[in-house]
Amino acid sequence: MESLTNRKKVVSNKPMTFIEKLYLPAIFSGMFITLKHMFKKKKTIKYPEETRVFAPVYRGQHVLKRDEQGRENCTACGLCAVACPAEAITMVANERKKGEEHLYREEKYAETYEINMLRCIFCGLCEEACPKEAIFLTDRIVPTEFERGEFIYGKDILVESIEERIDISKRQNTGKRGVV
């Protein structure tokens, strides 16, 4: 049959010539290649001093968002936990009491919300599942720890503080399907 791409090569198994059998020309050409690479521009990024530019779709450490009035968006519906393929998310829901309206946006809120960062695969399905725009993956890198227990992130780490909001505008347009 006629080839569509013309890229196929016929593999031949013909015996090597004497020069090829010496292997020395091949060795020297290989050595020349490595010699050339010695003087090429280095690709290294010296990490703590220089950082790479993150792609807008970069998925790093999670954040639980608050709204403009500083109330937590999360309503503990559990959709993120259901969506999570690694089963990293657990939560305990609680009812909002009188006088807590300035803390929680909805009538139900997450009393505890834990993500096991050792299980998390940073797929971003949780933010896709979230109906309240409460959880987002940010461009922050999860720091290393020396104990396993420290990798279970509770609300103290995940919820953004009122003063220092975390910018998720890049993710808002990319994470949600159909929003764009």
Partner 1 sequence: MDLAFIIEKFSLVLLVFLISLGVAAYSTFFERKLAGWIQDRIGPNRAGPFGLLQPIADGVKMFLKEDFIPKNSDKWLFIIGPGISMFTALITSTIIPWGPPVEVFGRQVTLQIADFNIGILFIFGVVSMGVYGIMIGGWSSNNKYSLFGAIRASSQMISYELAMGISLITIILMSGGLSLNDILDHQKGINWNIFYQPLCFLIFFICSLAETNRAPFDLPECESELIGGYHTEYTSMKLGLFLFSEYVAMFISSAIISILFFGGYHFPGETYFVGNTLAIISILVFFAKTFFFVFIFMWIRWTIPRFRFDQLMHLGWKTLIPLAIINMMITGIIIAIYEGWF
User: Judged by CB under 8 A, does residue 35 bind partner 1?
Assistant: yes
Q: Measured from the CB atom, is 31 or 57 closer to partner 1?
A: 31
Number of residues that bind partner 1 (CB under 8 A): 15
Contacts of 103 (CB under 8 A, 6+ apart): 71, 72, 96, 109
How is residue 115 written in tokens?
Answer: 């993500």
| Widest distance between CA atoms in the chain | 92
Closest CA to 128 of 174, 63, 67: 174
Nearest approach in angstroms of CB 25 to partner 1 is 13
Q: Please list every residue from 45 through 64 that binds partner 1, using CB under 8 A.
A: 46
The correct pick among 19, 20, 25, 27 for binding partner 1 (CB under 8 A) is 27
The correct pick among 7, 8, 43, 52 for binding partner 1 (CB under 8 A) is 43
The correct pick among 7, 14, 37, 177 for binding partner 1 (CB under 8 A) is 37
Report the half-sphere exposure of 54 (CA within 13 A, side-chain side).
12
User: Judged by CB under 8 A, does residue 17 bind partner 1?
Assistant: no
CA dihedral sign, ordered 92, 96, 99, 100: positive
Q: Which residues of this protein are in contact with partner 1, per CB under 8 A?
A: 27, 30-31, 33-35, 37-44, 46
